[in-house]
């Protein structure tokens, strides 16, 4: 059976080795393990079940642990994110998810922490000393069940209207391992598939569908129950175990409220630091207070 995961790192581990078309490296920065995986060919993408692209996985302290060294964590995450951003142009940040479901609310909550600046220009920017702000637009478009509109349709309309140079899509992810919940951040330039973590596939947000670079960033908040069982008992994709996929069950940590709140704040401020390079961490804290 297929083990469901949004983390390219886990797919790489299940693949048991680099292989042709895959470049993998790991380093430690400020106490955080950073894994960089580059899937360079279509054949490698097929083996791992992930699109061609660069995947950065950052393993940090559990978000329900003592919330210390938060500045160092944010600056480390923002440095990795900034390497994928084009140097100029409008940034469109999309918070994907459903605020009625805590484990799916990471994207909208993170969007609330991102500094929207596209409207700060001209005399307003000069008089407030904010003329160096990079124009950024932020939206949490909701989910199809509430709006009747696909997230991809909303994003395409916005792109045609404001013509951003890049989209940053924030979404909750699914992991195959409980150990990665609430302590792993994945950044990728391959885009994102809303709802894929719970098997609810929608229009993918990537360069092919939107026409501009799309950077996906997220934190795992759920584990598919079938995948969890196989992971715990050591089964793999060749397992003879069978499950009724029509009865989807996902598992979340008991501290999901805290994990979502802290994870959203961490990602939101990391996006701010990556986008607004002319301002210090302390400046951005003041601007978002």
**In this predicted structure, what is the pLDDT of residue 248?**
67
pLDDT at 236 over 60: no
Residue 63 lies in a domain: no
% of the chain beyond a pLDDT of 90: 63
Q: How confident is the model at residue 250 (pLDDT cuts 50, 70, 90)?
A: confident
Residue 49 lies in a domain: no
Q: What is the CATH classification number for the domain harbouring 83?
A: 3.40.50.1450
Please give the residue range of the domain that contains residue 105.
73-288
In total, how many domains does the chain have? Answer: 1
Residue 272 lies in a domain: yes
Residue 51 lies in a domain: no
Average pLDDT of the residues in 212-217? 97
Q: What is the pLDDT of residues 1-57, one digit of tens each?
A: 466 789 999 999 888 766 889 999 999 988 889 999 999 999 999 999 899 999 999
Average pLDDT of the residues in 148-163? 94
pLDDT at 200 over 60: no
Residue 230 lies in a domain: yes
Quote the CA–CA distance of 91 and 130 in Å, as a whole number: 17
**In this predicted structure, what is the pLDDT of residue 17?**
63
pLDDT at 241 over 50: yes
Quote the CA–CA distance of 79 and 77 in Å, as a whole number: 5
Quote the tokens at residue 114.
Answer: 């991102």
Residue 24 lies in a domain: no
What Rg value do the Cα atoms of the chain yield, rounded?
A: 19
Residue 56 lies in a domain: no
Residue 184 lies in a domain: yes
Range name among 62-71, 117-126, 237-246 with the lowest pLDDT average: 237-246
Average pLDDT, the chain: 88
Q: How confident is the model at residue 197 (pLDDT cuts 50, 70, 90)?
A: very low
**In this predicted structure, what is the pLDDT of residue 238?**
46
CA dihedral 45→47→48→54, nearest 10 degrees, is: -30
**In this predicted structure, what is the pLDDT of residue 52?**
94
Q: Which position has the higher pLDDT, 90 or 123?
A: 90
For the whole model, what pTM was predicted?
Answer: 0.90
């Amino acid at each position: 059976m297929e083990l469901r995961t949004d983390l390219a790192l886990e797919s790489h581990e299940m693949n048991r080795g680099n292989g042709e078309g895959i470049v993998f490296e790991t380093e430690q920065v400020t106490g955080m393990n950073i894994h960089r995986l580059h899937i360079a060919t279509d054949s490698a993408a097929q083996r791992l079940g992930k699109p061609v692209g660069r995947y950065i996985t950052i393993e940090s302290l559990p978000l329900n642990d003592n919330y210390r060294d938060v500045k160092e964590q944010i600056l480390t995450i923002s440095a990795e994110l900034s390497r994928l951003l084009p140097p100029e142009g409008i940034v469109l940040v999309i918070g994907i998810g459903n605020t009625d479901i805590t484990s799916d609310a990471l994207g909208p909550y993170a969007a609330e922490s991102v500094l929207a600046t596209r409207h700060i220009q001209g005399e307003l920017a000069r008089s407030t000393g904010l003329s160096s702000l990079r124009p950024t637009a932020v939206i949490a478009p909701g989910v199809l069940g509430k709006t009747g509109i696909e997230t991809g349709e909303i994003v395409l309309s916005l792109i045609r209207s404001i013509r951003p140079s890049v989209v940053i899509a924030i979404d909750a992810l699914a992991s195959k391992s409980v150990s990665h919940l609430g302590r792993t951040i994945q950044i990728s330039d391959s885009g994102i598939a809303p709802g894929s973590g719970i098997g609810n596939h929608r229009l993918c947000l990537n360069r092919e569908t939107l026409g501009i670079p799309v950077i996906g960033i997220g934190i795992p908040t759920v584990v598919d129950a079938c995948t969890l069982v196989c992971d715990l008992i050591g089964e793999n994709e060749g397992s003879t175990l069978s499950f009724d996929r029509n009865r989807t069950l996902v598992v979340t940590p008991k501290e999901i409220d805290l994990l979502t709140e802290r994870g959203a704040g961490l990602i939101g401020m990391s996006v701010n630091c990556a986008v607004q390079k002319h301002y210090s961490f302390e400046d951005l804290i003041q601007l978002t207070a």
